[in-house]
Amino acid sequence: MFTDLFWQEGFPANNDQDFAEQVKTHDSEVVNVKGTLLRSVEFAPHTGSFFHRTISLDYGILIHGALTLVLDDNKRVLLKPGDVVVQRGTIHAWMNETDEWTRMYCVMLPADKVTVGEKELESEFKPIPADWKASHV
């Protein structure tokens, strides 16, 4: 579950715009390609996200609970409140492997696509392999 707390278009930011209207009127895109985005993300116990890559630079700050960052090689990092993750176009997933809700705040900025060799990587969303869903923490 996620809620956009603020959506601002343009660089540099225009501090004369109405704060409330920026959140209410933006489109349904996952990333704001024209500016910044502040998002609250909550995970119920024993749930997770898809593997995903967005064309953005993301700062994630875990506020409540414990959350596992899973990379596409099944490397895992357990986050606790106050931990910060910087995602730079990396494909990843989030898993709440605990019995309590978690909350993370994410600041997302548009970015150039990641390039590997001659190939530009696109946004991507895919399921986590079923055998990876068991706790490895």
Distance in angstroms between the alpha carbons of the first and the last residue of the chain: 23
Fold exhibited by the domain 2-132: Jelly Rolls (2.60.120)
**pLDDT tens figures, 29-38:** 788 888 889 9
Spatial distance between the Cα atoms of 122 and 114, rounded to a whole number of angstroms: 8
**pLDDT tens figures, 10-50:** 888 878 877 666 676 666 778 888 888 999 999 999 999 99
Question: In the chain, what are the domain boundaries?
Answer: 2-132
